[in-house]
Amino acid sequence: MHLARFPRVFLAHLPTPLERLDRLSKELGGPEIWIKRDDCTGLSTGGNKTRKLEFLMAEALAMGADTVMTQGATQSNHARQTAAFAAKLGLQCHLLLEDRTGSNDGNYNHNGNVLLDHLHGATTSKRQGGLDMQAEMEAVADRLRAEGRKVYVIPGGGSNPTGALGYVNCAFEIVSQANDRGLRIDHIVTATGSAGTQAGLITGLKAMNAGIPLTGIGVRAPKEKQEENVFNLACRTAEKLGCPGVVKREDVVADSSYVGAGYGIPRADTLEAIRMFAQLEAILLDPVYSGKGAAGLIDYCRKGRFKKGERVVFLHTGGSAALFGYDSQFAEDDKALTVA
Ligand SMILES: *Cc1c(COP(=O)(O)O)cnc(C)c1O
């Protein structure tokens, strides 16, 4: 697999660390848990979108764009990483932020990722929840084009075959780190949303015949829908790479049991996972994605879904900047841990 054939802007801090989580593994008493630190990709507090944007932004530059646009939820990590990447490249950035939670919390609407979007100089506009955001974005892009701007539109989450190349690359990176250190990996677990991360990973894993099963923990769509989205994108990514058909439908496994009331609304087990990672491993998760992914991982361990002695890698996709938009979820900790 020859990824150097595709244009890429090298900006992420790679390879990200692959680390063993001793205290969490001991607490759960099951498999040996490892973490792939894609929260440490380096761009404006890091996260998984940076790997995708390395390939997407190269396309934007190749077409001579002066403006990039993308869309996401109010606390979108993807929007923030796009704003940061655009700043680094000297491109203008406009973000459409969809109100998926209906929250009128000041920190949710202005702190965390939103604060960073604006610090990077991106302009934002809001949309009510439930609209066709891709269509909204195209309409704004057309307006900007009519004004003479050259606009490159990035889909939500950066999830198309170009963006997914970033996670094909991550699959190679994980397996190469494991090979160099003599680590047999039995399973990989990650949060899955707009599907590019899981689609890229499974395409890379299958293309190199790694024999490592991958489970995506859903954050929004029901299982069937999520698996279908991931599978479709994986098929298109494999075609782009010149290995059509390497991913079979049964290779794509998503579990949407940890979504709760909806996208961006944490459950009790999401918050528990965030506390466990923070207090046992000094690692910051987020309330929208990695907290739900980790809640799934923890539940699988407790239910004995992984055997003792197996080695499970949790891909940490980042998102900790969103914590500052969700501080109200942790009001209890604030009260309980403040002492006279
Ligand atoms: C976007 C995102 C995900 C999900 O990745 P997809 O490629 O959209 O499936 C997971 N975790 C975090 C922190 C994210 O920002």
pTM: 0.98
Buried b (16+ CB within 10 A) or exposed e, 137-148: beebbeebeeee
What DSSP element (H or E) covers 124? strand 123-128
List the chain residues with pLDDT less than 50.
Answer: none
DSSP assignment of 134-145, as one string? HHHHHHHHHHHH
Distance 193 CA to ligand 1 centre (A): 6
Our answer to whether residue 76 is catalytic in this structure is yes
Of the residues 76, 159, 194, 256, which is catalytic? 76
φ/ψ (deg, to 5) at 112: 60, -130
Indicate which atom in ligand 1 lies nearest the CA of residue 318: 13
Indicate which atom in ligand 1 lies nearest the CA of residue 322: 13
pLDDT tens digits for range 293-313: 999 999 999 999 999 999 999
Pocket of ligand 1 (CB under 6 A): 47-48, 77-78, 157, 159, 191-198, 286, 289-290, 317-319
The count of C-alpha atoms lying within 13 angstroms of the C-alpha of 238, restricted to the half-sphere facing its C-beta, is 22
pLDDT tens digits for range 166-221: 999 999 999 999 999 999 999 999 999 999 999 999 999 999 999 999 999 999 99
Distance 317 CA to ligand 1 centre (A): 6
| SS3 assignment, position 253 | strand
Indicate which atom in ligand 1 lies nearest the CA of residue 194: 8
pLDDT at position 1:
76
